[in-house]
A = this chain, B = another copy of it.
């Protein structure tokens, strides 16, 4: 990687930056004229030939300028990017105003990011810890039970359960008591057969219902758990001619609509401690086939100790990495503040 002398680096940087702006292949003349590198186009040409041989840039055809290769972008992202510390519009206020419910907040985050960056964005809901805080049963009809479950972190889920037996207050009271006694503080994984058997015994005559309720609990979690992903700015993709072409755009849009297909890149290595920062996937580096012509930048946010979600931005390979990265950094900080305040 360090086989580049200073001049080559300068030229490479100039090529990439120019290409990021224009999206057109960059010729030697452009570099020699419009940068502070005072060399003739011929010299630049020689250097460019070298850079191409080394794989940092590519010539679409013989008589065109050069465009960065994936390797070139990689080098740029790793070594050349300057930290634009410019404070991005602070979104915090807008976010706090609009969003009281987590879902809405995340949707808003996606939208704000999309508007700010002009790329497509995606946000996953955090994978909350499934520790039961308490459970509350309420009778709503003679044979219908409303089950409200509050998990650690104040995640609330509710579900209506139809029971076969006819209900009465005593029964509901007892069930409430039993359920809470046994399940409070338990992780979902900890609700195993021994616990269930014990509860059954305690419940006495009502034990048939216990099953129904446990079912509901499990379902209500796994259901939402199948990865809620919020997206925004889908159509931004069509703003970039290199993606708009052919059927690539269609495939891409389809991938984004079928949100499940995005998990590949958003779930990727959430547990790996190293990958908590900002990650950049360039072209082929992406785990998602249909995004081979794109770059994706992801970041991890933390809602509270140990509860993570991800934010991602999808754009053309020539995306404005600096802006995207700094915007994400800024966003992460602001989200941190929001969540800390909330707790």
Contact = CB atoms under 8 A, between A and B. Distances in A.
A154 B148 contact: no
A200 interface: no
Nearest to A160: B154
A140 interface: yes
B150 A156 contact: no
Interface stretch (A250-258, A303-311, A314-322, A329-337): A250-258
B146 A150 contact: yes
Interface of A: 100-101, 104, 133-134, 136, 138, 140, 144, 146, 148, 150, 154, 156, 158-160, 219, 223, 232, 234-235, 238, 249-250, 253-254, 257
Contacts of A156: 146, 158, 160
B150 A223 contact: no
20 contacts: A100-B223, A101-B223, A134-B140, A136-B138, A136-B148, A138-B150, A140-B150, A140-B154, A146-B148, A146-B156, A148-B158, A154-B160, A156-B158, A158-B158, A234-B234, A234-B257, A235-B250, A235-B257, A238-B249, A253-B253
A242 to B, nearest CB: 15
* Across the A-B interface, the 5 shortest Cβ-Cβ residue pairs: A235-B254, A238-B250, A235-B253, A156-B158, A234-B257
Contacts of A257: 232, 234-235
A63 B129 CA distance: 68
Contacts of A234: 234, 253, 257
A305 to B, nearest CB: 17
A165 B140 CA distance: 30
A154 B144 contact: yes
Contacts of A160: 154, 156
A103 to B, nearest CB: 10
Nearest to A233: B257
Contacts of A144: 154
A148 B150 contact: no
A238 B249 CA distance: 9
A158 B100 CA distance: 12
A158 B148 CA distance: 9
The listed residue with most B CB atoms (<10 A of its CB), out of A134, A154, A235, A253, is A235
Contacts of A250: 235, 238
Nearest to A148: B148
A250 B236 CA distance: 9
A140 B132 CA distance: 12
A343 to B, nearest CB: 10
A100 B219 CA distance: 10
Contacts of A249: 238
A46 to B, nearest CB: 43
Contacts of A238: 249-250, 253
A109 to B, nearest CB: 16
Nearest to A247: B238
Nearest to A255: B235
Contacts of A104: 223
Contacts of A154: 140, 144, 160
Nearest to A252: B235
Contacts of A150: 138, 140, 146
A256 to B, nearest CB: 9
